[in-house]
Structure 1
Amino acid sequence: MGRVVLVTGVSRDLGMRLARNLASDPAVERVIGVDVVPPRGNTAGVDFIRADIRNPVIAKVIAKEDVETVVHMSVIATPGGVGGRGTMKDLNVIGTMQLMAACQRAESLKHLVVKSTTTVYGASSRDPAMFTEEMNPKRTPRSGYSLDAFEVEGYVRGFARRRPDVRVATLRAANVIGPDVTSPITQYFKLPVIPRVLGFDPRLQFLHVDDLIAVLRHAVLGDASGTFNVAGDGIIMLSQAIRRMGRASVALPPFAVGGLGSALRRAGLADFSPEQLAFLTYGRGVDTVRMRTELGFEPRYTTATAFADFSSSLPAGILAPGRPASPDTVLAGLSNQLTKGGARG
């Protein structure tokens, strides 16, 4: 008999893609997908149960189905898709708290795999060259997705202490990119002209979406426990990324980038939060030695090749490739995009 796996967040593409991937594995007897709304498209062998992990009823689902492995995929990075920051925090933090409470009471549970993010390390001028898993952020997150991820990991550690019999693996994924990925960083690179913070050239690390699915599957079917940074080899600078895209960009003072980001966020063009601004100022690097030596995983894509695959799917910008942009041109071009965004809204 194979294992019974429950995957949260299957109404979103990544959650359902992982669930279908696991359902095709002969070591898995059954995959149960849960979310508050039904998934779109083909469920391909995944049994969907409509359930809100913020509700204690999730404990009954886990117990009734004799779930052996829970994969927590429903930590949301973009508030626009769920109705705002308040709903996003409620889903992320309260949802995780209730899920961990349900897991604690589940006698059948043997494994817990949590998709986390390197965003928990934050981004500041005091950061080390590379964060290892034992390091804490130099500045404790105060808001947004990074604060949610920080609190989510706190609940997961609490669960691991209370249920030492359950194998817990937390995967801190670098910024996930791919042709079909929608996230704050992919929205940023899809802007017709890319704003940069004057005087800074941040280091970037990426994880291809195919490698994310592969590492989650590896963690589910393997026996490794602990916290692991997961990213493609190497880093690229923001300036390099923009050149490789052949996109126009402009350097603006931090306050101007922040103001522009607020306008883009209101128009629904990009989730340009303060934490995103910090990341695009200072960047972030993570050490992945433990990913290879203890988790036993090797990504297929490097940071550079993951970014190349993503950027190859983008349309041309509003300016000719490689042409330098002036602030006036940027504002004119983005004004046109904001107007279109407002008309759509």
Structure 2
Amino acid sequence: MSADGMVVLVTGVSRDLGRRYARALAASEGVARVIGVDAVPPRGDMGDVSFVRADIRNPVIAKVIAKEDVDTVVHMSVIATPGSAGGRHTMKELNVIGTMQLLAAAQRAPGLKRLVVKSTSTVYGASSRDPAMFTEEMEPRRAPRSGYAKDAAEVESYVRGFARRRPDVRVTLLRCANVMGPHVQSPLTSYFRMPVIPTVLGFDPRLQFLHEDDLFDVMTLAVHDAPTGTFNVAGDGVILLSQAIRRLQRPSVKLPGFAVGSLGSTLRQARLADFSPEQLGLLTYGRGIDTTRMREELGFHPRHTTAEALEDFGRALTPTGGYAVRLIDRAAELVETGLPEPTGAPRG
């Protein structure tokens, strides 16, 4: 740590959430410098953040940490959208190989004091056998076999390995609920932005959200004064999918699970929404995470409830074109004509 405060490296600043968080962190008390790292430059204003163009999949990240005298690393570049990453293969490389290289560099940095990792409640999965609320010690009922959920689980395993090898570094891992807000671009916000929202027939899942401002607050708290450990993070309360759709004043159409999955593939190809197997599971079974440890041990109390985060997101919704409506109508026609169910689809 420099005489003027912490020197923090933040990954994933080319995306809006990472860039805005780095700016907020640079303005917080006790932080001397923030270095934003990503493979491509951010589009928006970085403020007082110093940007370094570097791919964390490359060992050069170790030189950045050493040259800048970094004492704190915030890892935000585990991404959920293969479309924005250039495909599933590239997404996995960025998530898994990138994390491995970053942690290898961090392990060789003697001056490193703290590591904060933004993870996701998606690691718990979503199935019909889930508990009402997942605590941090619980394992998913079905281990993720592909996609973002599998990447996040692998990232967490590497972080735990790092914590064992460097017990002198304070490691805080935040399992965040789906982040929601007017500026958030994610598979779930793309789903809610659709002009007609497809839902899984016979299911009304429970959802939890974390407002984007609360994400920035909890990660800043973790940088400054957080205990070592893993913490579930979500706004208070849960909301049913049907309630969320009504509050957003969006029309919906109920389809069998396999039809929603087929529709999701079509929408993904059309770049209208980024459906994934884990999202389809969430929209079928839902998920709840217990945030007792967040409040009692981490000392964090979100400013926005789940319902308030959704409400703030809804204020920014704008009408979209009719192409998605036609795709959904076509999916309904396929269901009526007896579209065969693909293998691997969630069953009710």
**Would you say same fold, with TM above 0.5?**
yes
Find the counterpart in structure 1 of residue 337 from structure 2: none
User: Counterpart amino acid of 2:300?
Assistant: F
CA–CA distance in 1 between the matches of 2:290 and 2:223? 22
Q: 1:174–1:331: structure 2 CA closer, same or farther, 3 Å change rule?
A: same
The correspondence for 1:197, drawn from 189, 195, 200, is 200
Distance 2:166 2:306 in 1: 36
How many equivalent pairs are there? 328
What is the SS of the residue equivalent to 1:5? strand
Deviation at 1:315, TM superposition (A): 2.2
Do the aligned residues in 2 keep the contact of 1:184 with 1:271 (CA within 8 Å)?
yes
CA distance in 2: counterparts of 1:330 and 1:267, whole angstroms: 12
- Pair 1:76 & 2:79 matched: yes
The 1:328–1:20 alpha-carbon spacing in structure 2 relative to 1, beyond 3 Å, is closer
Conserved? CA contact 2:259–2:331, under 8 Å: no
Asked whether the 8 Å contact 2:263–2:327 carries over to 1, the reply is: no
Partner of 1:178: 181
Q: Is the partner of 1:48 in helix, strand or coil?
A: strand
Of 20, 39, 43, the match for 2:42: 39
Match of 1:90? 93
- For residues 46-125 of structure 1, the aligned pairs below 5 Å read 46-125=49-128
Residues 56 and 102 in structure 2, CA contact (< 8 A), matched pair in contact too: yes
- Quote how far apart the aligned CAs of 1:317 are: 6.8
Q: Could you tell me how far 1:125 is from its partner in structure 2? A: 0.5
The secondary structure found in structure 1 opposite 2:298 is coil
Q: Distance in 2 between matches of 1:330 and 1:120?
A: 29
- The TM-score, its normalising length taken from structure 2, stands at 0.91
1:253-293 per-position Cα deviation (integer Å, ceiling 9, x unaligned): 11111111110011001111111111100000000000011
Distance 2:274 2:67 in 1: 39
Q: Distance in 1 between matches of 2:6 and 2:98?
A: 24
Give the counterpart letter for 1:144 in structure 2: G
1:30 counterpart SS class? strand
Alignment of 1:210 with 2:210, yes or no, is no
Would the aligned equivalents of 1:248 and 1:317 in 2 still touch at CA under 8 Å?
no
Within 5 Å, give how 1:1-345 maps onto structure 2.
Answer: 1=3, 2-316=5-319, 330-331=328-329
Structure 2: where are the runs of 5+ without partners?
334-348
1:99-126 C-alpha deviation (Å, 9 max, x unpaired): 1111111001000000000000000001
CA deviations on 1:23-72 (whole Å, 9 max, x unpaired) are: 11230111111111111221111111111111111111111211100000
C-alpha distance in 2 between matches for 1:75 and 1:170: 13
- Whole-Å Cα distance in 2 between the matches of residues 232 and 295 of structure 1? 14
Give the 3 Å change call, closer, same or farther, for CA 63–255 of structure 1 in structure 2: same
Structure 1: runs of 5+ lacking an equivalent: 320-326, 336-345
SS at match of 1:131: coil
Listed one character per residue, the Cα deviations across residues 189-220 of structure 1 (whole Å, up to 9, x for unaligned) are 11111101010000000000000011000100
Structure 1 residues 127 and 74: CA distance shift in structure 2, 3 A: same
Q: Give the conservation status (yes or no) of the 8 Å contact 1:193–1:334.
A: no
AA paired with 2:150?
L
Contact 2:121–2:289 at 8 Å: present in 1 too? yes
**Does the Cα contact within 8 Å between 2:59 and 2:101 map onto a contact in 1?**
yes
- Where does residue 341 of structure 1 map in the other structure? none
Cα RMSD (Å): 1.8
C-alpha distance in 2 between matches for 1:168 and 1:280: 32
- Secondary structure of 1:172 counterpart: strand
Structure 1 residue identity aligned to 2:18: G
- Which amino acid is the alignment partner of residue 6 of structure 1? L
Pick closer, same or farther for the CA change 1:195–1:19 going to 2, 3 Å: same
Q: Deviations over 1:122-151 (max 9, x none)?
A: 000010000000001111100111000000
Residue 338 (structure 2) aligns with: none
**Distance of 1:109 and 1:294 partners within structure 2:** 23
Cα separation, partners in 2 of 1:238 and 1:61, compared to 1, 3 Å: same
The separation in 2 between residues aligned to 1:232 and 1:262, in whole angstroms, is 30
Q: Does structure 2 retain, via aligned residues, the 8 Å contact 1:193–1:318? A: no
Partner of 1:294, secondary structure, is helix
